[in-house]
Chains A and B, each alone.
Chain A
């Protein structure tokens, strides 16, 4: 008999019952909220006279709209101030813990959940943001949800859901020098497509994933949703347990050992059955960049951009629209595409290891004239750690702006935006039209070290040569 996947075990442990709709009512162990998608949910609760069922299982932070330059209150932008005040009021009224501006624990919700020890293996996690899949790096089931579902979780601590199929994605072998988790996930999405994961949970494994740090695993799981998979996860192992130990909300003393035993029991059995299995050779992955308007429109830095006529009829129309928006010439080399803006940040790549790698690559160099470059740490605690290590100085000396924590130019709901048709080399996760605040702005996704190489040379550059050519 075949064994069970983590997905199956964690799902089963959280089933409340079957609903008349045919869906399953599933208990949510940890609910994270932020200022943008929660106010409407609280409004609906009030309109319907409902209460928050388990206020201690919801934690709030602010990230999407917070300015990263001047965080003094009231915020300059009235709407941002209104959202912030609404969250403060809702947290107070319903008895929910809030990490507000100035709190050492404030930051992008998918950075601070893990960082504070709230995110743990074997849990179910929900948050009104599609990149909630990030938390799956810890071996939990983590779903992005909409505002009505936030209302559901607040009122009932549960969600109505249907089961997913589970696809195992093995990344085996050794990654080349300067090849990062971001390159791996872009290669996976390129291979399986932006719709390939619909109806699936992605379980990532294989020797390359096993060797990754928690922060790298988070970058991978983060972008599961860009491949159409609502959740992605990695089985918990010693790397996971070591990361969690000693954090503010992690189990303490004897409880930690009992927790580890439980967490181990939730991992997929070695003989677990999967709906399908996909293999990727780690050694084949180059530094990746996107050339279009979906994260699946990606190539290696040493490749040429595809010609629409060489693509399947399904992909062709999308490619034509992408080329019209991007103003790039089909068939050209990926290397050498000029950029105007460089952004290091977002819940994909704004953790301390990302900033360390980027700082090491930029040390002693200068951002190209005419390029606007900024680094936005994922959380207050990442910011303070980076400053303690002197990374902020390295970035500033190179010509990067050093900002306070938030989502910033990942979705440009704060003052950090592209202008006009600017091209941005970005370590974020979405290159959709208009995503970075200008309807005509253009986004090229890549790893933080690739952003550094592009910022310094003013054009897309192979980071392997960039680093090796260094004095």
Chain B
């Protein structure tokens, strides 16, 4: 699925046309197997320990996802779904409440993306984390606590269960059951209309940025009468 990839598209530096949103990357559905990571308030330090922030590219972040939860200091593996071969190849992450709280580091969604995850389903998400996911094309979609509980146990029982997240329909289908997803409007629009690449959208308005700047007294050194 190219839409979730963080790599730049080849056309990105190919002239002004590629800088407009006329070339959208619409995301309508993600399907695959799922992997549960249980617990409320899983913060970004737990998703990616701070020591890996020292790397100056995102290339290896996938290897470090949940590192301290997966390995002892000695390097011996702990029990964690990301170490469990039954979940290998999963593309949908299932989580509980307030996932991604704490530091705004974008290494967290990068680690998740680069470990193969293309969508996250949870009870709720920390705001900055969800925003950081959206700009990488990773939907963060919400189900009730009860639905998440049921989904997690179904996946634990049968890790090969296929799950389909339809953004277009705002539904999650699994085992013949269809659940209604909550998706914040801004996230939904950005992903389904392919406008999640905010840089391109905003670059198109650079003239208006200059006009706005010209009206701000502090950007002109408080020259003239206030």
Q: Which residues of A contact B (CB under 8 A)?
A: 13-17, 19-23, 25, 27, 29, 36-37, 39-40, 43-44, 47-50, 53-54, 57, 64-65, 77, 79-80, 82-83, 86, 120, 122-123, 128-130, 144-149, 151-152, 155-160, 162, 194-195, 198-199, 228, 230, 251, 255-256, 258-259, 261-262, 265, 294, 314, 317-318, 321, 411-413, 430, 432-435, 437, 439-440
Contact = CB atoms under 8 A, between A and B. Distances in A.
A383 to B, nearest CB: 24
Nearest to A80: B54
A22 B185 contact: yes
Interface stretch (B25-33, B156-164, B173-181, B198-206): B198-206
B76 interface: no
Contacts of A128: 104
B150 interface: no
A16 B103 CA distance: 28
A430 B102 contact: yes
Given A82-B56, A439-B73, 20 more contacts: A20-B193, A21-B189, A21-B195, A29-B219, A37-B106, A39-B57, A48-B8, A48-B12, A82-B54, A83-B56, A146-B128, A148-B132, A155-B203, A158-B202, A160-B202, A162-B186, A199-B127, A255-B221, A317-B39, A432-B46
B46 A148 contact: no
Contacts of A256: 222
Nearest to B184: A162
B1 interface: no
A317 B216 CA distance: 49
B199 A152 contact: yes
Contacts of A228: 101, 126-127
A421 to B, nearest CB: 11
Contact of A432 (B21, B45, B107): B45
Contact of B106 (A23, A146, A156): A146
Interface in B197-226: 198-199, 201-203, 205-206, 208-209, 212-213, 215-219, 221-226
Contact of B202 (A82, A152, A195, A412): A152
A19 B201 contact: yes
B195 to A, nearest CB: 5
B165 interface: no
Contacts of A147: 106-107
B127 A198 contact: yes
B101 A194 contact: yes
Nearest to A14: B212
Contact of B213 (A27, A195, A230): A27
Contacts of B107: 147
Given A16-B209, A82-B56, A432-B45, A23 B218 contact: no
Contacts of B73: 439-440
A439 to B, nearest CB: 4
11 contacts: A13-B216, A21-B189, A23-B190, A49-B13, A50-B199, A77-B54, A123-B218, A129-B104, A146-B105, A152-B202, A156-B202
A64 B58 CA distance: 18
Contacts of B209: 16, 25, 27, 53, 156-158
Interface residues of B, number: 65
A162 B190 CA distance: 13
B17 interface: no
Contacts of A15: 212
A251 to B, nearest CB: 5
A434 B54 contact: no
B141 interface: no
B218 A413 contact: no
Contacts of B189: 20-22
A294 B41 contact: yes
Nearest to B213: A27
Contact of B225 (A159, A162, A258): A258
A157 B215 contact: no
B127 to A, nearest CB: 6
Contact of B186 (A23, A47, A57): A23
Interface string B108-144: 0000000000000000001110011001100000000
A195 B98 contact: yes
Contacts of A317: 39-40
Contact of B54 (A19, A83, A157, A440): A83
B50 interface: yes
B122 to A, nearest CB: 14
A144 B101 CA distance: 13
A146 B131 contact: yes
A21 B26 CA distance: 12
Nearest to A144: B104
A37 B44 CA distance: 14
A18 to B, nearest CB: 10
B146 interface: no
A324 to B, nearest CB: 12
A251 B221 contact: yes
A14 B8 CA distance: 29
A40 to B, nearest CB: 6
Contacts of A64: 53
